[in-house]
Amino acid sequence: MKVLVTGGAGYIGSHAVRELRDAGHDIAVLDDLSRGHRQSVPPEVPLVRGDLGDAASLARALAGTDAVIHFAGLLSVADSVADPASYYRTNVVKGLALLEAMQAAGVRDIVFSSTCAVYGIPVRVPIDEDHPKDPINPYGATKLAFERALDDLSRAGRLRAVALRYFNAAGCHPDGSLGEDHRPEEHLIPRAIDAALGRAEPLHIHGADYDTPDGTCIRDYIHVQDLARAHVLALGLVSAGPAADRPAFQAFNLGTGVGRSVQEVLQAVERIVGKPVPARVGPRRPGDPPRLVAAPERGRRILGFESKDIALEGIVESAVRWRRDHPQGYGTGS
């Protein structure tokens, strides 16, 4: 199958490209490289460098395509609060441009990179796919808006779609060739590693007075390689088409079902690095729920997806190896 991966030069997108290629699919990537890295795309995979909202780039990238996996978008909660218009423009308006270009090219199947931020503050944990959707920031709101567009277009017979709602993506490719290189870095595990290695200021912990066993927030960390495998499975599901018991649009939570606190993450980093993680505790960050843990049963039952690596140490070890070997991200390597 020929698959276009938008945002395929980014963190999760590049891992999915590698997994799709290894599964035998014919891959092309559309990425403007504003946040992605050319070095993360295999040299044999065609890369169309272009903006998601540019009709000419979309037409060129979609030529001959059978399906789309859509990663391209903005993903910082803090940035979305500071500049919500850019998130609506990129995640919704440009996303709709992609859907229109797909229809013009006769491409019906799409797998969408969504987020657990669509749920907002949870009213129950673990969180299943039927949990109320009440996002508390523009990032989650724009992801949910695009999901609703997919649902509506699927009901109208225009598309067949799957949305994958990630919990906390973490780790790096097992062979050390792909990693996490954000500028600036906002994710806990790479920031903790850099602090332990003396490459960054002490880690700032946002609150240690939550109603959790050690007072810090609990999150569901899923290995990025597991996420990549889930996209291959979702592509197979969506391309199979609807069935009597399967609607044209479906959404799945991608998590392990196991929650880890901030303190547990820091302890794992310290064990792997062999050095303490300098950290200081500050006030809570507005809108941070105490617990975010997935109920992964629907994905296991329908997608056939189950996380292979739920051990926090395995996730952290892969991230430590990448950051030690690539102190400047994709700019350098051992």
Sketch out the chain's domains with CATH numbers.
Answer: 2-169+221-254 (3.40.50.720), 188-219+256-331 (3.90.25.10)
Task: Identify the helix (H) or strand (E) that includes residue 86.
Answer: helix 84-87
Give the pLDDT confidence score for residue 334 in this predicted structure: 40
CA contacts within 13 A on the Cβ side of 4: 29
Prediction pTM value: 0.95
Q: Give the span between the Cα atoms of 224 and 179, in whole angstroms.
A: 9
Per-residue pLDDT band for 245 (boundaries 50, 70, 90) equals low
Q: How many CB atoms lie within 10 A of CB 40?
A: 24
For 122-176, the pLDDT digits (tens) are 999 999 999 999 999 999 999 999 999 999 999 999 999 999 999 999 999 999 9
Q: What is the pLDDT of residue 62?
A: 97
| 128 touches 214 (CB < 8 A) | no
Catalytic site residue from 139, 166, 210, 221 = 139
pLDDT tens digits for 300-332?
999 999 998 678 999 999 999 999 999 999 985
Q: Secondary structure of the chain: what % helix, strand, coil (to 5)? A: 40, 20, 40
Whether 201 shows a pLDDT value over 60: the answer reads yes
* Amino acid at residue number 234: A
Catalytic-residue membership of 11? no
pLDDT of amino acid 37? 96
Q: Which amino acid is at 159?
A: L
Dihedral of CA atoms 267, 269, 270, 271 in degrees, nearest 10, equals 90
| 40/47 Cα distance (integer angstroms) | 11
Q: Report the distance separating Cα 197 and Cα 205, nearest Å.
A: 17
Chain mean pLDDT for the chain: 95
Which range among 212-221, 235-244, 268-277 shows the weakest confidence by mean pLDDT? 235-244
